[in-house]
Homo-oligomer: A and B are copies of this chain.
Amino acid sequence: MTVSAPSVGDRAAVDFASLLSTRASRMNASAIREILKITQQPDVISFAGGLPAPELFPLEDVRRAADTVLTKYGPSALQYSTTEGHLPLREWIANRAGITPGHVQIVTGSQQGLDLLGKILINEGDVVLVEAPTYLGALQSFQPYGPQYVEVPTDEHGIDTDALEGVLRANQAKFLYAIPNFQNPTGRTLSLERRRRLLELTAQYGVLVLEDDPYGKLRFTGEELPNLYELGLEMVGGDPDRNHVIYSSSFSKTLVPGLRDAWVQAAKPIIEKLVQAKQGADLHTPTLNQMIIAELVEDVLPRQIKTVKQAYGVRARDMVARIREFLPAEVEHTTPEGGMFLWMTLPGEIDTQPLLAQAVERKVAFVPGSPFYALGGGHNTMRLSYSSATPTQIETGIRALGETIRAAME
């Protein structure tokens, strides 16, 4: 092939758009991100974001831990480190899960774990099963790799496992992406019976399960349930290399998000590929940050989990009470047992996208539910976050939301 070159004088502006990959054309600005821009007016009460409560951050503990690790490790705390992650942190995670550090990969936030798993698993056109609705950020991570999404219906107990069987029979799926605890966006929790059934079914059909569990430790009511990962391990006699569940969790919701420390637990063939993928993606998660987290996991983390779940429990109950007080009876809502979110379903004729503008006029904001559906739909749904709201904001905000919805219903 010979490429003809225009003369130097002819040089036109570079057409950057024509040089982008087809993969890039699958990427879009996050719908939520655009929504958050609208809602970030100073006098608007926003239930739209999903920010952990900053006033609960263990700021002084982080300060002390940073100081401690700089003394304890010296320049090593600031040097390049291994791709797999800081060994004491991986050991702590592995010990709690009954696995080895070789089954644990530290990642730069759960989001990186989702991206790298998408990268090593998804071929263009592969079927990925997702809950309807599901976490928008996961869709954003998987999307560049060109999956074909198939939705699994959900109800108040999470994934409908009867429906799942039909979906598995009708599709040769690569993996099922699930958030069993206090799901983002719905706040729902998958029942124990369904957890077992989901694992049996996926194992039978040779479909991996990607369990995303950022909120699992933040249960403020009800009984703790075993993770899919734990149940999957049980099913194969405790052998992590035969567990078909890949587990992702994070220190973002229990300690702080800004250090970007999370991890993936999986069978060695998955972890080994993940290490290679991560090496190409960012070499390793920042050394200092991993050491800070490792310094906090023994004492600060358990205390912090107690504080956070107690606070979120109060806020969730408060928001649910105000919803019952101020919202039309036709509005359905979930009652979360943990986590940061609840979900509302409005009468069918209301579209929550235009409703948002009306709500912002009344100085309250939420996230319309539609972007959480991989295949669209959910136009009459919305997500509310209570994690960083004060009692006054909850009262005033839900009252204003009630007025907005009533006006729209008329």
CA distance A133 to B82 in the complex (A): 25
How would residues 57 to 94 of chain A score, 1 for a CB under 8 Å from any chain B CB and 0 otherwise? 10100110011001000111111110100000000000
Question: Contact partner of A282 among B28, B83, B260, CB < 8 A?
Answer: B260
CB-based contact A24/B259 at 8 Å? no
Within 8 Å CB of A21, what residues of B? 119-123, 126, 145
Contact indicator B283/A137 (Cβ below 8 Å):
yes
A208 and B111 form a contact (CB under 8 A): no
Which of the segments A153-161, A166-174, A378-386, A397-405 contacts the partner chain? Answer: A166-174
Query: Quick one: which of A59, A252, A260 has the most chain B CB within 10 A?
Result: A260
Q: Is the CB of B79 within 8 A of A51?
A: yes
Cα distance, A29 to B271, chains bound together (Å): 12
B204 A6 Cβ-Cβ under 8 A: yes
Residues 252-296 of A at the B interface (beta carbon under 8 Å): 252, 256-260, 267, 269-270, 273, 275-277, 279-289
* A242 touches which of B13, B30, B74, B120 (Cβ 8 Å): B13
Q: Mark A157-186, 1 if CB is under 8 A from B, else 0.
A: 000000000001111101100000000000
Expressed in whole angstroms, the Cα–Cα distance for A70 and B288 within the complex equals 15
Q: Does A54 make an interface contact (CB < 8 A)?
A: yes
Query: Do B256 and A78 touch (CB < 8 A)?
Result: yes
* A55: chain B residues within 8 A (beta carbon): 75
User: A27 at the A/B interface (Cβ < 8 Å)?
Assistant: yes
A54 contacts B29, C-beta separation under 8 Å: no
A115 touches B280 (CB 8 A): yes
Asked if A57 and B30 sit within 8 Å, CB to CB, the answer is no
Cβ of A234: which chain B residues have Cβ within 8 Å of it?
Answer: none
Q: Verify if A329 is at the interface (C-beta below 8 Å from B).
A: no
Q: How often does this chain occur in the complex, in copies?
A: 2
Asked whether A77 and B258 contact (CB < 8 A) given A19-B208, A23-B145, A111-B282, the answer is yes
A187 close to chain B: CB less than 8 A: no
Chain B nearest Cβ from A87, distance in angstroms: 15
A112 B59 Cβ-Cβ under 8 A: no
Partner of A144, one of B66, B119, B256: B119
* Contact mask for chain A residues 1-29; partner B; CB cutoff 8 A; 1 contact, 0 none: 11101111001011111011111100111
Q: Contacts A79-B256, A137-B283 hold; do A273 and B20 have CB atoms under 8 A apart?
A: yes
Residue A313 lies at the interface, judged by CB distance under 8 Å to chain B: no
Contact in complex: B62, A112 (CB < 8 Å): no
CB of B14 within 8 A of CB of A244, answer yes
Could you tell me if A287 and B273 are in contact, using CB atoms closer than 8 angstroms? no
A34 to chain B, nearest CB (A): 12
A174-B19, A242-B13, A257-B79 as given contacts; A24 in contact with B269, CB under 8 Å = no
Using A54-B79, A172-B1, A288-B258 as known contacts, say yes or no to A267 and B16 having CB atoms under 8 A apart.
Answer: yes
Could you say which residues of chain B place their CB within 8 Å of the CB of A270? 16
Give the distance to chain B from A70, nearest Cβ to Cβ, in Å.
5
Cα distance A3–B171 in the bound complex, in angstroms = 7
A96 at the interface (CB under 8 A from B): no
Tell me how far the C-beta of A299 lies from the nearest C-beta in chain B, rounded to whole angstroms: 18
The 5 closest A-B pairs by CB, nearest first: A258-B287, A54-B75, A16-B269, A78-B256, A78-B258
